């Protein structure tokens, strides 16, 4: 009887047992995996070095704003040294805006005339971070509606940070990081 015939007739053979053992070993002994965003890995930092959210993404903190202003480098770039944009309204309130647009253009079949020429808003979000205390930050974000289900991105959470062993507590409504 051939191997195919044994598999079709449902008799477990040495191949079945070997595959089951290999699958079991693979599931029971996984190796550690980790992911690190590009800029964090380049500079040897974690996400919270640039973002209020320890998981990364969303509103940038003071260091993250300067890092972005310097074109994602730690050295001050002279070309942008005189830019005086400051996201802080005062010592404890900062604002931010995330915007992404997609330009859509389609040509007609018989010529250079555009049939469609428009911008599509992919993301639009207003962020506010309030830090009334050195160890507490309250973050609020409100986004535009871009889909037919009227889903609107919103977050409101308090972040207790700089606890021992780099622990933090994040309480409220927030997006899942992955």
CA distances 129 to 47, 86, 136, Å, are 17, 14, 10
Does 27 map to a domain?
Answer: no
List strands edge to edge, sheet with 169-173: 93-107, 114-133, 136-145, 152-160, 169-173
Contacts of 64 (CB under 8 A, 6+ apart): 49, 50, 51
Tokens representing residue 114 in the block: 């555009």
pLDDT bracket for residue 10 (50, 70, 90):
low
Contacts of 125 (CB under 8 A, 6+ apart): 97, 98, 99, 141, 142, 143, 144, 153
Contacts of 133 (CB under 8 A, 6+ apart): none
Does 4 map to a domain?
Answer: no
The tens digit of pLDDT for each residue in 79-131 reads 767 777 788 899 999 999 888 899 988 877 777 777 788 998 888 889 999 99
The count of domains in the chain is 1
Does 147 map to a domain?
Answer: yes
Does 3 map to a domain?
Answer: no
E strand or H helix that includes residue 105: strand 93-107
Full domain range(s) for residue 67: 37-173
Does 31 map to a domain?
Answer: no
The tens digit of pLDDT for each residue in 144-178 reads 766 667 767 788 888 888 888 878 888 887 777 65
Does 109 map to a domain?
Answer: yes
Does 132 map to a domain?
Answer: yes
């Amino acid at each position: 009887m051939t191997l195919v015939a044994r598999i079709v007739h449902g008799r477990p053979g040495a191949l079945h047992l070997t595959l089951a053992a290999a699958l079991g070993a693979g599931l029971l002994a996984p190796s550690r995996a980790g992911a690190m965003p590009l800029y964090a890995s380049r500079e040897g930092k974690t996400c919270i070095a640039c973002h209020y959210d320890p998981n990364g993404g969303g509103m940038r903190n003071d260091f993250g704003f300067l890092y972005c202003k310097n074109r994602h480098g730690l050295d001050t770039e002279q070309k942008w040294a005189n830019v005086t944009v400051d996201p802080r309204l005062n010592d404890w309130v900062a604002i931010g805006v995330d915007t992404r647009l997609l330009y859509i253009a389609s040509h007609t079949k018989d010529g250079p005339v555009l049939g469609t020429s428009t911008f599509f808003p992919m993301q639009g979000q207003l962020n506010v971070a309030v830090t009334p205390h050195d160890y507490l930050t309250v973050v609020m974000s409100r986004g535009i509606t871009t889909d037919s289900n009227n889903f609107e991105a919103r977050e409101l959470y308090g972040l207790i940070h700089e606890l021992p062993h780099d622990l933090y507590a994040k309480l409220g409504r927030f997006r899942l990081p992955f």
